[in-house]
A and B are shown apart, each in its own frame.
Chain A
Amino acid sequence: MSESSAVAHAEHHREGFVRHYLFSLDHKMIGRQFLFSGLAMMVIGGLLAMMVRWQLGYPEQPMPFTGLFSEEFWEGGSWFAQGAPYGVITSEFYNSLFTMHATIMIFFVVMPIMVGAFGNFLIPIGIGAGDMAFPTLNMLSFWTSVPAMILMVLSFFVPGGAAGGGWTSYAPLAAVPDYAGVAGPWGVNLWLISLFILGFSSLMGSINYITTIINMRAPGMTWFRLPLFIWSLFIVAILLLLALPVLTSGLAMMFFDRVFGTHFFLPEGGGEPLLWQHIFWFFGHPEVYILVLPAMGVTSEILPVFSRKPIFGYHAMVFSMIAIAFLSWVVWGHHMFQSGMNPQLGTAFTLTTMMIAIPSAIKTFNWLGTLWGGSIRFTTPMLFAVGFVFLFTIGGLSGIFMGSMAVDIFIHDTYYIVAHIHYVVAGIIFGIFAAIYYWFPKMFGRMMSEGLGKLHFFLTFVFFNMTFFPMHFLGVGGHMRRIYNPNQYEFLEGFAGMNEFITVSALLLGASQIFFGINFIWSLFWGRRAERNPWQANTLEWDAPSPPPHGNFEVTPTVYRGPYEYSVPEVQEDYLPQSRYLEVAAGGGH
């Protein structure tokens, strides 16, 4: 299949603009489409976060730029003039802001970039195939995500504004339009429809990924010669296949409750509000690993390349990811310790939650073991990968606090949780940046600027920690999440200064991303031309030209060894590509 499709692709190489740039069947173009749409949504999601932070740091004061708008604008009744009259965010708009920030960042930034962009781009090249198993399905997967994206953004403009029930949209608040207290039901309705559509996009993608990885590996590419990033995507595709339909069903049930008068989640008709939470988190916890496993995979890919050393414990890395995937199905209740479910369940879910921390600990220590004895090059992708390890360590350790159901009684629904999720999920953005800086030469055939990249890293790293670390202190002080104005509480009076500090840091964190934008766009057009293998890495994508042509490889590669054979004593160079044939097979390999 892989060879014949490569040949078939090579034959109809010439195609029109629409076929090439819009409805492309080429996995690489689809990957780039996911990358661009994801980055565009990241700008929106980031701006929403800036507004959330503004309200918390400077409650009910006009936002800085809003003084520029005319009187007519504020009288005009546009969505923004209603949500933030004269620049002052209303509590309804505030609820929409944090709801949409989380929804966009999780569903329209991290998933499309990590799984959509890099999954698409790298799975076929990384396993030595010419394209995905189902190129048309692949194209449909992207184009199904576009209406979902448009509907989600459009929901800001409907009467009553975008959904404001939190990204978790707990019933009955989100299941009954009247409880939201806004002018119309369409914010949440569109939220449900958008994610419902997106569910089909990810379903198509996951089936494609699984089929491709099982069936289309190049000769010699055994399971234990697969790069760890491909392993992570394989496991994520299985989680997506099984978890997303659960959410999709729940979304449909909630839509029925809202529009057709059913009572799945409404007690007055015999329904059960906790049912929504069980459905949501049964999807939601595997979802967390859907987000983080690819970032772990990227890190496992980049650390060996720039340490010039094999990954420490390849098999342990694979088995710990598999363990995480299995355990991720039995930990969802730790989001619900205080929800009113039977407290005995809390005991069971604490035990499973503690267990899932073990494979995460193994991975962290194995990354450290990879660095030990290396010959470390501090390139931009390496800095971001090491940054991810550091942030994931904090995010993983802070998770142990709420993993203990007793400590969770106090810190549940406080800023401690907000700190934790951002160290993990916003930490994944470090994985995304590492991946972009690392694979940009392969994707676009040009190098990104190292100087701007390092500047971007240092500013992002410093302001990230200045933004999210103090949130632990807020949480320890009992500061609730999702509150509009902390000044309404006497016990939070002492935190006004810290909230302001966090807001200033967050604005600077946002501003630092300008350096990434400049670097990305500039390098796209004027970056130095990339050679085939600029990082002297071993995996198959570096065998293909930069950027790879239709069909990827001139000749289907044959794989002779594992992906991390760096500094093998028997060879002259400090790397040994998977596809290079040696008379005497060097090293242990896999």
Chain B
Amino acid sequence: MFDMLRWLPERASTYAGEIDTLFYIIYYITGFVFLLVTVLLIWFLIQFRYKPGRPAVYSHGNTALELVWTATPAAVFIILFLISQSTWAKVKQFAPISDTEVRLIAKQFAWEFHYPGPDGKFDTEDDFQQDGELHVPVNKPVRLYMQGTDVIHSFFVPVLRLKQDVLPGREILAWFEATKTGRFEIPCAELCGPGHSGMKGWLTVHSAEDYAAWLQEQQS
């Protein structure tokens, strides 16, 4: 009826496809149930509308049917849980080792990205900072160490299918591996005050050579 998922943004990370696949699986299952319920509802309303001389069926239910519509959803839900788990663990629990590490500082109302510089260590002389601009190489895992300063913000890159709240008082690790070069928006997805709307940055995904050149330029 409605192809709802055609509104999905493009996919530009290694796990975006997996998340969308789950999205589609749930979409087809729920879409089927929705159609089933709607068709039955409309059919019953028409078929069993009041007609003079035709009494209603005197019945208190049917235990066998009830068992069917208890067990079937239960089985479907357990399967959905199981197939969701591996994708969830991949995105949120097991960040791969990477030599592209960036520290994100979130504040009202901007993203600040800190790079460790040539020595690969944060909080040293050669660190450099980018306001609102995250530059990463394509096809390489990136580790983001997120720190909040004031209120809660949420780092959201629709094309990566990544969203992670950034909390003051702790560091949260997120990761992604971009699969497409280009420039993508990074909105804040958690209400963070009057400047929440419009709090955004840009993710630039470079080819390997471009990224090396960009890094060179920043560090010189």
- A interface, CB within 8 angstroms of B: 90-92, 95, 164-166, 170, 172-173, 176, 179-182, 267-268, 271-274, 307-314, 316, 338-340, 343-344, 346-347, 350-351, 354-355, 357-358, 361-362, 364-366, 368-369, 371-378, 386, 389-390, 393-394, 397-398, 400-401, 403-407, 409-410, 412-414, 472-474, 476-478, 480, 482-485, 488-491, 566-569, 574, 587-588
How far, in Å, is B17 (CB) from chain A's closest CB? 12
- The reply to whether B200 and A488 form a contact with Cβ atoms under 8 Å apart is yes
- The reply to whether A347 and B198 form a contact with Cβ atoms under 8 Å apart is no
- The contact string, 1 if C-beta is below 8 Å from chain A, for chain B 175-218, is 00000000011011111111111101000000000000000000
- Determine the chain A residues whose CB is within 8 A of the CB of B61 once the complex forms: 310-314, 316, 366, 369
- Determine the chain B residues whose CB is within 8 A of the CB of A410 once the complex forms: 19, 23, 158, 161, 163
- The reply to whether A354 and B57 form a contact with Cβ atoms under 8 Å apart is no
How far, in Å, is A177 (CB) from chain B's closest CB? 12
- The reply to whether A375 and B48 form a contact with Cβ atoms under 8 Å apart is yes
Chain B residues 11 to 27 lying within 8 A of chain A, measured CB to CB, are: 18-19, 22-23, 26-27
- Determine the chain A residues whose CB is within 8 A of the CB of B196 once the complex forms: 91, 95, 482-484
- Determine the chain B residues whose CB is within 8 A of the CB of A90 once the complex forms: 194
How far, in Å, is B59 (CB) from chain A's closest CB? 7
Number of residue pairs spanning A and B whose beta carbons lie under 8 angstroms apart: 287
Q: Does B30 contact A (CB under 8 A)?
A: yes
- The reply to whether B158 and A491 form a contact with Cβ atoms under 8 Å apart is yes
Closest 6 pairs (CB-CB, A-B): A267-B169, A373-B57, A484-B197, A478-B158, A354-B77, A313-B61
- The reply to whether B55 and A567 form a contact with Cβ atoms under 8 Å apart is yes
Q: Which residue of B lies closest to A181 (CB)?
A: B194
- Determine the chain B residues whose CB is within 8 A of the CB of A366 once the complex forms: 61, 66
Which of A176, A343, A386 has its CB near the most chain B CB atoms (within 10 A)?
A343
- Determine the chain B residues whose CB is within 8 A of the CB of A95 once the complex forms: 191, 193-194, 196
Question: Which residue in A309, A390, A406 is a CB contact (below 8 Å) of B58?
Answer: A309
| Complex CA–CA separation, A246 to B187 (angstroms) | 33
The contact sample of 26 A-B pairs, CB cut-off 8 A, is A182-B194, A268-B169, A307-B48, A307-B56, A312-B59, A312-B60, A316-B61, A340-B165, A343-B89, A343-B92, A362-B70, A366-B66, A369-B65, A373-B56, A374-B44, A375-B54, A400-B80, A406-B18, A406-B88, A407-B23, A407-B84, A409-B88, A476-B5, A477-B7, A480-B187, A567-B56
Q: Does B139 contact A (CB under 8 A)?
A: no
Question: Which residue in B2, B19, B63, B93 is a CB contact (below 8 Å) of A407?
Answer: B19
- B interface, CB within 8 angstroms of A: 2, 4-5, 7-9, 18-19, 22-23, 26-27, 29-30, 33-34, 37-38, 40-41, 44-45, 48-51, 54-63, 65-66, 69-70, 73-74, 77-78, 80-81, 84-85, 87-89, 91-93, 108, 150-152, 154, 156, 158, 161-170, 172, 184-185, 187-198, 200
- The reply to whether B194 and A368 form a contact with Cβ atoms under 8 Å apart is no
Q: Which residue of B lies closest to A477 (CB)?
A: B7
- The reply to whether B163 and A362 form a contact with Cβ atoms under 8 Å apart is no
How far, in Å, is B26 (CB) from chain A's closest CB? 5
- Determine the chain B residues whose CB is within 8 A of the CB of A365 once the complex forms: 65-66, 69
- Determine the chain A residues whose CB is within 8 A of the CB of B200 once the complex forms: 488-489
- The reply to whether A357 and B73 form a contact with Cβ atoms under 8 Å apart is yes
Question: Which residue in B19, B44, B55, B56 is a CB contact (below 8 Å) of A409?
Answer: B19
- Determine the chain A residues whose CB is within 8 A of the CB of B57 once the complex forms: 309, 372-374, 567
- Determine the chain A residues whose CB is within 8 A of the CB of B81 once the complex forms: 350-351, 354, 404
- The reply to whether A180 and B193 form a contact with Cβ atoms under 8 Å apart is yes
Question: Which residue in A164, A361, A397 is a CB contact (below 8 Å) of B69?
Answer: A361
Question: Which residue in A344, A357, A393, A401 is a CB contact (below 8 Å) of B34?
Answer: A393
How far, in Å, is B113 (CB) from chain A's closest CB? 19
| Complex CA–CA separation, A351 to B62 (angstroms) | 28
| Complex CA–CA separation, A182 to B184 (angstroms) | 32
How far, in Å, is A321 (CB) from chain B's closest CB? 14
- Determine the chain B residues whose CB is within 8 A of the CB of A340 once the complex forms: 164-167, 170, 172
| Complex CA–CA separation, A563 to B23 (angstroms) | 42
- The reply to whether B151 and A173 form a contact with Cβ atoms under 8 Å apart is yes
Question: Which residue in B9, B41, B163 is a CB contact (below 8 Å) of A477?
Answer: B9
Question: Which residue in B56, B78, B91, B187 is a CB contact (below 8 Å) of A566?
Answer: B56
- Determine the chain A residues whose CB is within 8 A of the CB of B26 once the complex forms: 400-401, 404, 407
- The reply to whether A354 and B78 form a contact with Cβ atoms under 8 Å apart is yes
Which of B27, B151, B195 has its CB near the most chain A CB atoms (within 10 A)?
B151
How far, in Å, is A454 (CB) from chain B's closest CB? 14
- The reply to whether B48 and A374 form a contact with Cβ atoms under 8 Å apart is yes
| Complex CA–CA separation, A404 to B190 (angstroms) | 20
How far, in Å, is A346 (CB) from chain B's closest CB? 6
- The reply to whether B40 and A368 form a contact with Cβ atoms under 8 Å apart is yes
- The reply to whether A181 and B30 form a contact with Cβ atoms under 8 Å apart is no
| Complex CA–CA separation, A267 to B49 (angstroms) | 62
- The reply to whether A364 and B197 form a contact with Cβ atoms under 8 Å apart is no
How far, in Å, is B50 (CB) from chain A's closest CB? 5
| Complex CA–CA separation, A272 to B195 (angstroms) | 24
- Determine the chain A residues whose CB is within 8 A of the CB of B152 once the complex forms: 170, 172-173, 273, 339
- The reply to whether B162 and A409 form a contact with Cβ atoms under 8 Å apart is yes
| Complex CA–CA separation, A95 to B73 (angstroms) | 39
- Determine the chain A residues whose CB is within 8 A of the CB of B60 once the complex forms: 310-314, 588
- The reply to whether B62 and A358 form a contact with Cβ atoms under 8 Å apart is no
| Complex CA–CA separation, A400 to B108 (angstroms) | 33
Which of B33, B44, B164, B168 has its CB near the most chain A CB atoms (within 10 A)?
B44
- Determine the chain B residues whose CB is within 8 A of the CB of A181 once the complex forms: 108, 193-195
- The reply to whether A267 and B168 form a contact with Cβ atoms under 8 Å apart is yes
Q: Which residue of B lies closest to A272 (CB)?
A: B169
- The reply to whether A480 and B4 form a contact with Cβ atoms under 8 Å apart is no
Q: Which residue of A lies closest to B159 (CB)?
A: A491
- The reply to whether A166 and B191 form a contact with Cβ atoms under 8 Å apart is yes
How far, in Å, is A428 (CB) from chain B's closest CB? 18
